[in-house]
Structure 1
Amino acid sequence: MSSTQKYEVLVDSFISKLKRRQITGSYNVATATCRLLMRVISSSRWSSTEEFINLIRGVGCKLIDAQPREFATGNIVRRVLAIIRDEVSEDSITQSANNAPYNTSMFQLLSTTHTTKPQGTQATKQPNQDLRSVVIQGIRELIDEIASVHENIELMTVDLIHENEVLLTPTPGSQTVLNFLLKASLKRKFTVLITECYPNDINECHSFAKKLAEMNIETVIIPDSTVFAVMSRVGKVLIGARSVFANGGCVTAAGVATVCECAKEHRTPVFAVAGLYKFSPTYPFDRDSLIEVGNSGKVLPYEDSDLVGKCEVTNPLFDYVVPEHIDIYITNIGGFSPNFIYRIVLDNYKAEDVQLG
């Protein structure tokens, strides 16, 4: 089997898992995408850096087309492309510096014979093998960064959560929020209100509450409809995010946008917890395309045929939260205002790779 056929088989297999939902969740998708790109880079062949970049961009387009709402795949591909471009630019600067003529003393400035730096036996052009190993090492560091996201976020728990405070979280499916609360419970005593997230995340809600209760955290599950009534007693709202966009908005679980509206009305601060790998350089121009619709039978059972035929029922799985309703993003590199997200994006992505297609 040729190298091209080998990495195409890897990509097709990964795409099949994405479409069948065998890989779900931003953390799992991001880690799996990193490992896929490592295998693709190891098995592929190219003759120039442009061909190498186009290869990775082509793989990224296939992954995004396979599951457009798994935003972590596109983010990881863009981060890897940024690693490649940084390495290529550093190498070109080094080559130009090595090839530039220089004088060893002030007296030689007046000399008619110019001496240049002797060229060694090392080739001026970086071999493909060196670039391959550097990029693979960069992807390994990216995997380590993703794996340590929870640990770095947990370091800020003591500064953000106060003693005997009431917290509200409408995203019980977020592992990052769960670890954040569990770590905070070691040094703070507080109460957590969890919305039941009917009808999609009820099981996750009860599992979330059970894990908190096992750590002796006072936990209460409330219906989604009572959020506005209890918001006056809530000190902070903690939400998890599936993807954070360059404008400061984010896509998260269904129902969170309503909770953030209530928090804004009561002047309650909203903290969004997200790792750096969830930050995307794209803008949410078409917000309707970001929202995935699930099984409407969970809202209104098909047994109620009389009602089903007389009304339109939708079951959105995600919500888009505007940046004006979020106060702080808590990330593994610190806390930032939504207005500062574009700066973080510029530091980690290249403008050439915002649109992969």
Structure 2
Amino acid sequence: MVDNKQLKPEITALLNPVVDQLTRHQITGDKTIALEISHLLMRVISATRWSNPYDLVNTIRQVGVVLQAALPREFICGNIVRRVLSIIRVEIEENLELDPNSESNTMMSSIFSLLSTNNNTVKQESLIQSKKQSSDLRSIIIQGIRDLIDEIINVNEGLENMSADLIHDNEILLTPTPNSSTVLQFLIKARSKRKFTVLVTENYPNEIEQTHKFIKKLADNKIETILIPDTTTFAMMSRVGKVIVGSNTVFANGGCMSNSGVSNVVECAREHKTPVFAVAGLYKLSPLYPFNRNDLIKVGNSGKVLNYSDYELLENVDIITNPLNDYIPPENIDIYITNIGGFAPSFIYRIVLDNYKPEDNNLE
């Protein structure tokens, strides 16, 4: 349940069901979460009443804090909230540019209302004007969120258009992220124009089942696919032309979060001078920097690494951990492939500045 006294009851009523679903992991998948948060913010903006647009900004920021607390190690919620805040701030700035004297006009009308004998008429006219401006701004912001939803829904189309240009005939590719639907669609689209082979790491112990489903889908699309153990990555890398990696979050410094085991694969690729391409939708770009990298790593069930029935082996082991994700530094990525083009890691900060406002980096 949402415990934020600053939020109005009607906003809390909209927020509670989504927060409950997020904390219980009933909403899974980056794209699904992004769409759910976008629709939620659209409902919040429709239900919120404000006379000053900055009141709306404060409300969205408070909603963002609650959503981030529901998934503290996921960045998609914060990304979507900040994108919507950027949409709102851009519209506020444009309104100020179109009517530069709006503040002075408001002040003059206030002074006039104090001196005027017909106070009720002036107040009523200013109230009607304020409601009209709020209504117009609300509709523009909601349309901006609809455009954002369309971008998220069609994210694969922009990525797929680049696939045939980046992959060559008879090339051997390697991917360590079989849970990425973006990578799957990227490879399937490339197959329509190119013939190639894909090596897929088994991702022991967390993604084995997902890996087999990924391989089957590739095989169904007539892509030659080979499953390899994680331990053979270094030996196979000399034959690989490119490494294709799916990203969960891309930070402003050019680093990213991905599956556990990906860090090992990209280190091998760097040793063999094999290019690494990371695919990610624009909504996965975050304006934050990974200062505390250890805090970004999620830990899963250690029983998958060493079964509890093998308790005799535990006598010689101090700590058993099962990390679920890895941080990939920018120097291990050659190109980020997004739905708006390909960019070097060093240029990601520029894309971030185009889509986010610095004042919203810290929602609290």
Q: TM-score, normalised by structure 2?
A: 0.89
Deviation at 1:130, TM superposition (A): 1.4
Gaps of 5+ in 1: 101-120
Q: 3-state DSSP class of the match of 2:197? A: strand
Residue 205 (structure 1) aligns with: 211
Q: What are the within-5 Å matches in structure 2 for residues 203-282 of structure 1? A: 203-282=209-288
Asked if the contact 2:51–2:131 (Cα under 8 Å) also holds between the matched residues in 1, the reply is: no
The runs of at least 4 aligned residues of structure 1 exceeding 3 Å deviation read 97-100, 121-126
Q: CA RMSD in A?
A: 2.0
Counterpart in 2 of 1:340?
347
Counterpart of 1:80 (choices 73, 79, 84) is 84
Q: Which residue of 2 aligns with 1:138?
A: 144
**Paired amino acid for 2:177:** T
Query: Quick check: 2:253–2:349 contact (8 Å CA) kept in 1?
Result: yes
Q: CA deviation at 1:123?
A: 4.4
Contact 2:215 2:225 in 1 (8 A): yes
Give the Å deviation of 1:307: 2.3
Cross-structure match for 2:71? 67
> What is the alpha-carbon distance in structure 1 between the residues aligned to residue 35 and residue 203 of structure 2?
27
The secondary structure found in structure 2 opposite 1:320 is strand
Letter matched to residue 91 of structure 2 = E
Partner of 1:149: 155
TM-score (norm. length: structure 1): 0.91
Distance 2:337 2:353 in 1: 18
Give secondary structure in 1 for the equivalent of 2:200: strand
Runs of 5+ consecutive residues of structure 2 not aligned to the other structure:
1-6, 105-125
The CA deviation at 1:9 is 1.8
SS of 1:127's equivalent in the other structure is helix
More helix by share: 2
Q: Is the 8 A contact 1:26 1:70 kept in 2?
A: no
Counterpart AA for 2:169: E
C-alpha separation in 1, matches of 2:312 and 2:43: 54
Identity of aligned residues (%): 59
C-alpha spacing 1:233/1:99, structure 2 compared with 1 (3 Å): same
Q: Counterparts of 2:266 and 2:189 in 1: how far apart (Å)? A: 24
Rounded Cα–Cα distance in structure 1 between residues aligned with 2:60 and 2:71: 17
Counterpart of 2:29? 25
> Is contact 1:26-1:71 (8 Å) kept?
no
**Offset of 1:328 from its aligned partner?**
0.2
User: What is the CA-CA distance between 1:49 and the residue it aligns to?
Assistant: 1.4
CA distance in 1, matches of 2:40, 2:314: 44
The AA in structure 2 aligned to 1:258 is N
Q: Name whichever of 9-18 and 285-294 sits farther off.
A: 9-18
Instruction: Kindly provide the CA deviation profile for residues 156-175 of structure 1, in whole angstroms up to 9, marking residues without a partner as x.
Output: 11110000000000000000
Q: Secondary structure at the match of 1:166?
A: strand
